Amino acid sequence: MPVPLDYRHPDIATIQIAVSRIPATSGQATDGTLVLNPGGPGESGNQILPIEYPYLPAGVRTAADVVSFDPRGTGASDPLLCGTNPASVTSAIPVPIRPGDDLPGTPVFAAIPPACAAAAPARTPLVNTVNTARDLDRIRQALGAASINFYGLSYGTVLGTVYASLFPQRVRAMVLDGAVDLYASLSTQATEQAPAAERSLIHLLALCANDPSCPLGADPTAYFTRLATSMRTHPRVAPGNGDNTPVTVGDLDTATLFTLSVPGFTPLYYAALVDATQGDGRALRGLALEFVIDIDGTSLVDAQWAITCNDTTGHLGPAAAGALARHLAAQDPLIGGYAVNYNLGGCLAWPNARRPVSAIRPRRAPPVLVIGNTGDPNTPLIGARHLAAAYPHAVQLTWAGWGHTWLLSGSTDACVAGAVTRYLGGMGLPAPGTVCR
């Protein structure tokens, strides 16, 4: 469907938004339409819908049409592709060696804004969450729905909050799962995320240590530390087949956070660590790329950073980012320093937002359900607490589990599934303080 490129000048140009729908399994959408956003930012909602759809509670699938879409600049919605090599981003070294040095990935990250300005000068500044929220309301209108239900994962909690702020009367119900601490600066988000990722990695390595068949030996933490130390000074050779970028400790950290976020990849991750120890980094690079490419193999990098940086202000410069990375690495030495690359690296040279999402508050939103995981390495539980507090009527439900978001990591948990089903079915929110174990 067409939407205005620029809502301030809606008649000048349009872009196309790709939308998909799975009808309610009962044949009657008694609970209306549920719009699902998978996060990212930058992921194709259409490509991932068939994968995530079965994770939704059966009662939700029975009673609602489930709709997803590719946000502007992503997937099939006029994608923003500026030529950035995804491997150059995953391989960016996370932590400077010496105090006072710039963030090592600065040359890669600083090249993204001018590349996008050259590739798509009109579109680049307009790929942001405020415009995507307006696109979502055009989708609502096209569906003929007076209001919608919304389920947002990770970055989808940002999109949902902006939509609830701009169009509160159009929200029937909203689940925000794996909440981003969107009213915190990117540097604060990195500072919150570093210890969460560290705890998750310690947990993962401890699980391996308790398994007699663990391929990392009797002390997996020492195994990981030795490999990281080795890769800081001796990158593995480039995988080949068109990928000519050596595999670095940046790939190790990227692959690690990806696995912590999606624990189902753990066996492949262990095997990749063993391969890298033996000098073969191909499997490690493959896992790292999973974080920065879409299901069809298209790069997410340019759209991801355009959305993140167009939404925010207070971007750190290279030296300040380097200092923060060293500080976080000192506090959480296994993977803490990577939080800077992950949360704010691409914004080092990006202009500040014209309208930051932190200035948009959901003051008139209806009651919403916010879900946070105790062991989320990506969007730690503090983000769910802070986001729920920003709403006039919200309940923050805690899932005591590991992995990123409840839907992707714990969808079989009947406690959370029941709460989500009842809420989306119009039967109210769970009791404040509910914890599902």
Q: Give yes or no for a contact between 257 and 289, defined as CB atoms under 8 angstroms apart.
A: no
pLDDT at 354: 84
Q: Is the pLDDT at 355 greater than 90, yes or no?
A: no
Token representation of residue 90: 């995953």
Q: What's the CATH code, domain 2-79+123-183+360-436?
A: 3.40.50.1820
* End-to-end Cα, the chain, rounded Å: 42
Per-residue pLDDT, 220: 98
Predicted confidence (pLDDT) at residue 99 exceeds the cutoff of 90: yes
Name every residue whose Cβ is closer than 8 Å to that of residue 76 and which is 6 or more positions away in sequence.
16, 18, 44, 46, 70
Q: What is the mean pLDDT of the chain?
A: 97
The candidate with the shortest Cα–Cα distance to 300, out of 76, 123, 79, is 79
**Strand pairing category for 148-153 and 19-22:** unpaired
Question: What ranges do the domains of the chain cover?
Answer: 2-79+123-183+360-436, 86-120+192-347
In our burial notation (b when 16+ CB lie closer than 10 A, e otherwise), range 26-48 reads eeebebbbbbbbbbbbbbbbbbb
Q: What is the pLDDT of residues 135-144, one digit of tens each?
A: 999 999 999 9
- What would the DSSP string read from start to end of 315-372? PPPHHHHHHHHHHHHHHSTTTTTHHHHHHHGGGTTSPPPSS-GGG---TT---EEEEE
Kindly report whether the global pTM for this prediction surpasses the value 0.95.
yes
Work out the number of other CB atoms within 10 angstroms of the CB of residue 61: 20
HSE-CB at 272 with a 13 A cutoff on CA atoms is 26
Beta strand 2-4 with 14-16 is: antiparallel
pLDDT at 424 over 90: yes
The contacts of residue 308 (CB under 8 Å, 6+ apart) are: 41, 186, 344, 346, 347
> 203-234, pLDDT tens digit by residue?
999 999 999 999 999 999 999 999 999 999 99
The whole-number average pLDDT for the span 58-87 is: 98
160 φ, ψ to 5°?
-60, -40
> How does pLDDT run across 188-210, given as a tens digit for each residue?
999 999 999 999 999 999 999 99
The whole-number average pLDDT for the span 322-350 is 98
